[in-house]
Amino acid sequence: MLDVGRHPNIELMAYSEVEKLEGTAGNFRVQIRKKARYVNEDKCTGCGACTEKCPTVVPDAFNMGLGTRKAIYSWFAQGIPSTHTIDPEHCRQLNGKKCGICKKTCQAEAIDFDQKDRIIELDVSAIIVAVGYEVFDPGLIPEYRYRELPNVITAIELERLLSASGPTGGHLHRPSDIKAKEKITELEKELKKISKALQKYETKYNEKSDQFYDKFKAGQYQDDPERKKWAERYEKYMEVKGPLDELKKQAESFHPARRLAFIQCVGSRDARFYPFCSGYCCMHSIKEAIIAHEHEPQTESTIFGMDIRAVGKGFEQYKIRGGNQSNIKYVRARVAEIIEGNNNNPVIIYEDTRERMVKKEEFDLVILATACAPSKGLSKLSNILGFELNSFGFVKTDPSFPLDTTRDGIYVCGCAHGPQDIPESVAQASAAAARAAQKVMQSRLRKAS
């Protein structure tokens, strides 16, 4: 990626979208909307001083909402370009409130609240569509209770939790435990505020709040409005302290998730959604179980699937190594339902198709290996660029020329035309670039003759 950013023949137009296409293969004119970042790309050094000072905190979409980011942010740490962006939906200044802290902080003077979207026109000979895929929404399978049970997550969420740059620094804390800890911090803050107010009364009346409250409840000081307020504050203090103590007690038993269940084919090979195999999910579940075990050697993983499709050089050996060295158990099963057990533990009900028995098993965390679905904007893009989609909503290609779309001069690679893993996507990207280069050369020769 760094090489791409530095390459003299490549112009990166991040945060931009194609809006219009005219012309024919070899002679296209493309209209692109370069969205306003409210940060001058040429001036921003990516130092992050603005982000540090920005007071607006919102859920971080890159971390699948498991962490937070500021209203001025960079999408992720290694992003190219490293330029920061202001999120116009949440920025105080851009929503008519007084702020501008980032502008005062930025020494490079890169903040520009007046920046507007720009329309750029390019003449190109060929186009490659590489818009990737979308993670299937497991909420569409109600029996898996995604979003209902906090410790049922998707594989992509697990990847963020296992990442050293993720919201938990790579520790496999369960979402329910993370939420409880956030609640503890919130209640501690509130309690500190109330304690401060109570201290003022204690100093003034030279008496501890609990002793005063006992007397107040016994009928003393009932006509004293200030002491009435003191009693109210003390009651509030107890209201916050009770749940806080309870949560702190619970938190003493929190530990990283050790019993992991992976459910395969969530939305894939399922006539209700996508009847095809998504290709990469068996391998990413094995990879994630191995990484979780590397982080915490006590981790035990069970992978529930109709079969494990380890199709690729060395993949079967990788699967076996996972079983032998990383505490992975493979169970041939179709999971029927997930319910909640004690301590926010998800409980899986499944049919073990080898033993022909219905079983029930409790885990710390359940991970759903979701299907590869077409990219959300692909339908709109196909209308703009004028190519067809197949019956699943991916880019339609010609079996004899698998990277050619139905429109001459427009090519496709990666998950935009169906599930592929990274090596396949990279190989296809090279092949699509070669197809596009042919079109460029044809166009040049035509123009020269």
Site string for ligand FAD, 81-110 (x = CB under 6 A): ------------------------------
Number of residues that bind ligand SF4 (CB under 6 A): 24
Q: Is 102 in the site for ligand SF4 (CB under 6 A)?
A: yes
Cα distances from 101 to residues 42, 50, 90, 93, in angstroms, run 20, 8, 14, 9
Q: Which is nearer to ligand FAD, 108 or 384 (CB)?
A: 384
CB of residue 170 to ligand FAD, shortest distance in Å: 16
For residue 313, the tally of other CB atoms under 10 A from its CB is 8
CB of residue 151 to ligand FAD, shortest distance in Å: 17
Q: Is 301 in the site for ligand FAD (CB under 6 A)?
A: no
For residue 120, the tally of other CB atoms under 10 A from its CB is 12
Binding partner of residue 72 among ligand SF4, ligand FAD, none, CB cut-off 5 to 8 Å per kind: ligand SF4
Site string for ligand SF4, 249-288 (x = CB under 6 A): ---------------xx--xx-------xxx-xx------
Question: If we measure between CA atoms, which residue out of 319, 353, 368 comes closest to residue 145?
Answer: 368
- The residue from 135, 347, 349, 433 that contacts ligand FAD (CB under 6 A) is 135
Residue 101, both tokens: 């802290």
CB of residue 284 to ligand SF4, shortest distance in Å: 9
Binding partner of residue 420 among ligand FAD, ligand SF4, none, CB cut-off 5 to 8 Å per kind: ligand FAD
Q: Are strands 27-34 and 16-24 parallel, antiparallel or unpaired?
A: antiparallel
Q: Which is nearer to ligand SF4, 18 or 369 (CB)?
A: 369
Q: Is 71 in the site for ligand SF4 (CB under 6 A)?
A: yes
Q: Is 301 in the site for ligand SF4 (CB under 6 A)?
A: no
What's CA 244's distance to the chain center, in Å?
A: 30
What is the Cα–Cα distance from 372 to 375, expressed in whole angstroms?
A: 9
Binding partner of residue 279 among ligand FAD, ligand SF4, none, CB cut-off 5 to 8 Å per kind: ligand SF4
Q: Which is nearer to ligand FAD, 59 or 377 (CB)?
A: 377
Q: Which is nearer to ligand SF4, 21 or 111 (CB)?
A: 111
Q: Is 425 in the site for ligand FAD (CB under 6 A)?
A: yes
The DSSP letter of residue 396 is P
CB of residue 283 to ligand FAD, shortest distance in Å: 7
Q: Are 385 and 127 in contact (CB under 8 A)?
A: yes
The DSSP letter of residue 64 is T
What is the Cα–Cα distance from 372 to 378, expressed in whole angstroms?
A: 14
Burial 403-423 (b: 16+ CB within 10 A, else e): bbbebebbbbbbbbbbbbbee
Helix (H) / strand (E) containing 302: strand 300-305
The DSSP letter of residue 22 is E
Angle between helices 175-205 and 209-217 (to 10 degrees): 80
- The residue from 280, 304, 394, 411 that contacts ligand FAD (CB under 6 A) is 280
Torsion angle, alpha carbons of 214, 215, 219, 221, to 10: -130
Q: Are strands 365-370 and 259-266 parallel, antiparallel or unpaired?
A: parallel
Site string for ligand FAD, 4-43 (x = CB under 6 A): -------------x--------------------------
In DSSP notation, 88-137 reads: TTT-SGGGTSS--HHHHH-TT--B-TT---EEEEEEES-EEE---EEE--
Q: Which of residues 312-371 bind ligand SF4 (CB under 6 A)?
A: 369
- The residue from 175, 322, 414, 418 that contacts ligand FAD (CB under 6 A) is 414
Q: Which amino acid is at 29?
A: R
Q: Which of residues 145-204 bind ligand SF4 (CB under 6 A)?
A: none
Q: Which is nearer to ligand SF4, 111 or 292 (CB)?
A: 111
Q: Are 436 and 126 in contact (CB under 8 A)?
A: yes
Residue 141, both tokens: 């399978």
Q: Which stretch binds ligand FAD (CB under 6 A): 80-88, 163-171, 289-297, 375-383?
A: 375-383
Give the footprint of ligand SF4 on this chain (CB under 6 A): 54, 56, 71-72, 86, 91-93, 99-102, 264-265, 268-269, 277-279, 281-282, 305, 309, 369
Give the footprint of ligand FAD on this chain (CB under 6 A): 17, 130-133, 135, 155-156, 159, 280, 284, 287, 375, 377, 381, 414-416, 420-423, 425
